[in-house]
Amino acid sequence: MQKLKYRVVRAGAAGGVVPMHLAFIDRSDVIKAGISNEKACQLVGAQFTDGVAINVIDLDAITVTSDGIIADGAVVAFASADRGKINPNFGFLNVSEIPYTQQLMDEEPHMKQWDTDYYRGKRLYRGPSAEDRVHRSSHNENMTITGRIASNNTGSEVMNLIEMTEILTPIFGQLQLVRDGAVLIGKTGPEMSVGIGMVVRERRGRIFGWNYGAGMTAHRSGKYAKTVKCEDYSIVAEKSLLAEYTIRALEAGLVPGLHLGCSPVTLSIAKAMGLPIGLDNITDDAWIELESVGITKESLQKPSTPLSREEVIARADEILPGIEDGKRYLASDICDICYVDCL
């Protein structure tokens, strides 16, 4: 009988800070099993007597982080399961492919990365389409809900609605788990709390849509933005890996605050490399949030010796802000590899 492989970070992993089960299915394993993404999520969900969030990840596709950096891997479906079931109306969301069009490339300057050698020709997945979102109203976020488990922002923010716990799983961290790499797990902290609001304007974004563009803050919460996820834990990629992908975007000529979100990470790397920053395009609201974590226009304008990409990657832990008391784990330390029969 055909078996479906999946990975699971179990509740209580990483010293007890992971509050619920997180399962990841490689899309290529779904194809091998000859089943749909939804069926794959149902099979995996049925293996758990309590709640689990499930993401199907295509490692051959690309997606985009909230601050506009392309990642080489994408969530192509996600689900919430509880007591072995997935709610038929709200428990599963497919994420349809977004085709390459000249209109998209003209409207969304950060997508220039798609034309680089790293990503040219790869399939793009970001947020669900209107057809994918069936049953949801316009106010609903890209969220699946079954029983106690809600998975929001296209599978990157998972909650237990009864225990009221939460964990963030930004895409680069998820990809490391599926690729058997290494992750950092720690408190999200103030810089990342600010950074997740510094977005790019996208039609069908994973999290945000067209309302806020580069240089703006979608949080618009002033000095309080830094507290939004501060105490929740996150599973993220090691900073050297995040630096690599951010540098790829900067080397494509994209400017934080102008084409990319003005997150503390994009700004810190551009500053370290002596690359342009769209200082005049960053809004007053965004500056308030950045200044609350010590990033000021003056600090970004202060003369410094530019570092090479290799130097930034080597010193990424020092240069890239975010994550408090992060501990490094190999995926194999916290992830079980499991198989389920494809009935």
Residues that bind another protein (CB under 8 A): 82-83, 85, 87, 89-90, 134-137, 139-141, 143, 145-148, 150, 152, 159, 161-162
Q: 322 is written with which tokens? A: 């975010």
Query: Cβ of residue 42: shortest distance to another protein, in angstroms?
Result: 14
Query: Cβ of residue 160: shortest distance to another protein, in angstroms?
Result: 9
Query: Cβ of residue 22: shortest distance to another protein, in angstroms?
Result: 18
Q: 244 is written with which tokens? A: 């690599």
Query: Cβ of residue 137: shortest distance to another protein, in angstroms?
Result: 6
Contact 69, 249 (CB under 8 A): yes
Q: In sequence order, what are the residues at sequence separation of 6 or more whose Cβ sits closer than 8 angstroms to the Cβ of residue 132?
A: 93, 94, 95, 96
Query: Cβ of residue 300: shortest distance to another protein, in angstroms?
Result: 33
Nearer to another protein, 111 or 159 (CB): 159
Query: Cβ of residue 79: shortest distance to another protein, in angstroms?
Result: 13
Tell me which residue of 190, 177, 284, 292 sits closest to 236, measured CA to CA: 177
In degrees and rounded to multiples of 5, residue 332 shows phi and psi of: -65, -20
Nearer to another protein, 161 or 342 (CB): 161
- Maximum pairwise Cα distance, the chain: 64
Nearer to another protein, 50 or 251 (CB): 50
Query: Cβ of residue 48: shortest distance to another protein, in angstroms?
Result: 14
Nearer to another protein, 85 or 179 (CB): 85
User: Which H or E element spans position 55?
Assistant: strand 52-58
CA distance 75 to 157: 13
CA distance 67 to 169: 15
Nearer to another protein, 87 or 299 (CB): 87
CA distance 133 to 1: 33
- Residue holding tokens 């198989």? 339
Nearer to another protein, 142 or 234 (CB): 142
Query: Cβ of residue 145: shortest distance to another protein, in angstroms?
Result: 5
Nearer to another protein, 113 or 151 (CB): 151
HSE of 205, CA atoms in CB hemisphere, 13 A: 23
Nearer to another protein, 102 or 137 (CB): 137
Rg (CA), the chain: 19
Tell me which residue of 142, 174, 147, 177 sits closest to 160, measured CA to CA: 147
> In the chain, helix, strand, coil percent, each to 5?
30, 25, 45
